[in-house]
Structure 1
């Protein structure tokens, strides 16, 4: 369950500050200086704002750009000069990044005007692997470092917050990139005829898709940022955000471990994807927010108990109508929680997780605070007396036996159903 999950560290990366290799001379403006005997090549543009100069290539006979084929932390071997018609993986990388590899991490830090220590922290936070002192970084990497450092220098972000921005962006986009590759790019880049390589198919496809996907990503991000900003501003106007109470819910597939032993990998993957897609659509359509999907479980939040209850019931009803899906169980708690880097933590989250684990198949369990919210909003009656007219209520609440819940004391769950 989510409350027991340890924090998952970002992939470590970056490198420690090392002296420049012997024989290298700084080049003006943060880019390697043109080598003697290479007429006709333009001098790299100066890098504004740099406080140091990176080293030039140690050997004038060195050509090309190092390739990312060595072990982590090792210098990467040089590769031949790319031909314009060579659909290599390195050329695809250059197409995506928009510029060639030309900086070591040390040079990139100096070109960006930041310390090697800060550059390494940013690099690790974004989730990238250690490249030692290989020339594996591009002008885009320098610009990104300069932008983050500039926000810190301007006082808009603290250094800690800037690292958190790098980490949250890196973790989110890493998952997005993996999903895009696995879900459709692998299929689209399958060679259509014998003799063709995947690289030959991928390069023109990326050329077509990259600008469209980039614009769509920025659009969705702006939409999500606007929605999140609106929620925070409204909460600040209404009440203290620290004490703001929300509904938190888990929806868990029953018997998933048995399914993993019975189904083939492809079948299991299709089932998980169908579950996550259905859950995400239902949560969004009914006014909730999907926090994360964990294979056999989804975690969502809602501003009020009624929204969370409706989502939970609709999830169970929708899954019950699909014969390929196992049963579902849902646990909902209402209270305060801590939000950090898009995730939620706290006793309310833990309670929702525990309620899910004890819920019967195809049932929704809520805690006492969630019940009180539903009653207060007029969605459920205070009691289920037969003498009362209950026709005006949306939900029925049946009390279950109190039981001890590990780490949370004694809890009285309530079973939620439609009236």
Structure 2
């Protein structure tokens, strides 16, 4: 096959069919007006394609799914598009993550002689690997959906309060990341960030917390219990800072009411945790007074002199460490 034919074959395998329809045709076949079809496409994160042939039968099925959801009346139209927007945003990031990860595998396949070209290796992955990982993706989504529903149900609050609850928010970031990013080559920097995010996620999850998002040199996480959040923060410092292949880390923790929306968390404890991490010394954990008030005998705390934190005025951060000789478990 020529390069253009290989490229077309790769697109066909990923998209699940040939592209034979324009935007107006796919909207009409799927049961939406052209305007609503374009709104759907934008919600998913794609630009308008005009009269170009850019769609196939899987696109018709997707449009029909949205049209049926609106027609049934179970969900109102605005909710349908909000869910669609959430899918588009999440899947865009997931796709970029997957492709950047698979690039290394493609290079290995070409260098090892398993495939004559990068496109050929990509086609092999799309044929042999993509179907099983698509099933894994749906499985992971269902598990996370069940966990999210359980978190909401456990709140036991009035409807208008279901997305707001008291939680401990942690913000962990790498020290000297800006200077590091100027010193390291792209490959080394990418590996460092991936290693940091992976290790943070493993530690947070092991403590029963949840990583909300990663920001390259920082990780935002939440956990329902302030004591466990403090243990998590101290473990992040001890396990990451002790590694020769990782730079120093600093963590801020704050406890209070936060709102969960659009896959993110918002509220004063989120902002305060970030501010505390930025003023923390390397390999230290700083907490707020609300977190400190919940801690027991297993921790030593020390209140530092007040300092200005943007948006909070003068705040006295509190250092925390595990009390020597104390065994919580």
TM-score, normalising length: structure 1: 0.72
Give RMSD over aligned pairs.
2.3
1:179-231 alpha-carbon deviations (Å, 9 max, x no partner):
22111245236435499332233323311112111111111111111111111
CA contact 2:234–2:285 (8 Å) conserved in 1: yes
Q: 1:148 aligns with which of 66, 83, 89?
A: 66
Could you list the runs of 5+ residues in structure 1 that have no partner in the other structure?
1-82, 380-392
More helix by share: 2
- 1:244 counterpart SS class: strand
Deviates more, 1:220-229 or 1:153-162: 153-162
CA contact 2:276–2:286 (8 Å) conserved in 1: yes
- 1:300 counterpart SS class: strand
How many angstroms apart in 2 are the aligned matches of 1:226 and 1:217? 14
Partner of 2:123: 203
CA contact 1:395–1:418 (8 Å) conserved in 2: yes
1:24-57 alpha-carbon deviations (Å, 9 max, x no partner):
xxxxxxxxxxxxxxxxxxxxxxxxxxxxxxxxxx
How many angstroms apart in 1 are the aligned matches of 2:115 and 2:268? 58
How many angstroms apart in 2 are the aligned matches of 1:289 and 1:412? 27
How many angstroms apart in 1 are the aligned matches of 2:115 and 2:128? 23
How many angstroms apart in 1 are the aligned matches of 2:219 and 2:52? 41
Partner of 2:277: 356
Aligned: 1:289 with 2:210? yes
How many angstroms apart in 2 are the aligned matches of 1:371 and 1:347? 16
Partner of 1:411: 315
How many angstroms apart in 2 are the aligned matches of 1:279 and 1:186? 23
How many angstroms apart in 2 are the aligned matches of 1:213 and 1:339? 28
Partner of 2:140: 220
User: CA 1:195–1:394 in structure 2 vs 1: closer, same or farther (change >3 Å)?
Assistant: closer
How many angstroms apart in 2 are the aligned matches of 1:160 and 1:408? 36
Aligned: 1:104 with 2:8? no
Q: 1:121 aligns with which of 24, 35, 39?
A: 39
CA contact 2:27–2:60 (8 Å) conserved in 1: yes
CA contact 2:169–2:269 (8 Å) conserved in 1: yes
More strand by share: 2
CA contact 1:122–1:166 (8 Å) conserved in 2: yes
Q: How does 1:9-408 map to 2 (within 5 A)?
A: 88-188=6-106, 190-191=109-110, 192-193=112-113, 196-236=116-156, 240-374=161-295, 379=296, 393-408=297-312
CA contact 2:171–2:274 (8 Å) conserved in 1: yes
How many angstroms apart in 1 are the aligned matches of 2:155 and 2:79? 22
Shift in Å, 1:123: 0.6
Aligned residues: 320
CA contact 1:87–1:199 (8 Å) conserved in 2: no
- 1:337 counterpart SS class: strand
Partner of 1:64: none
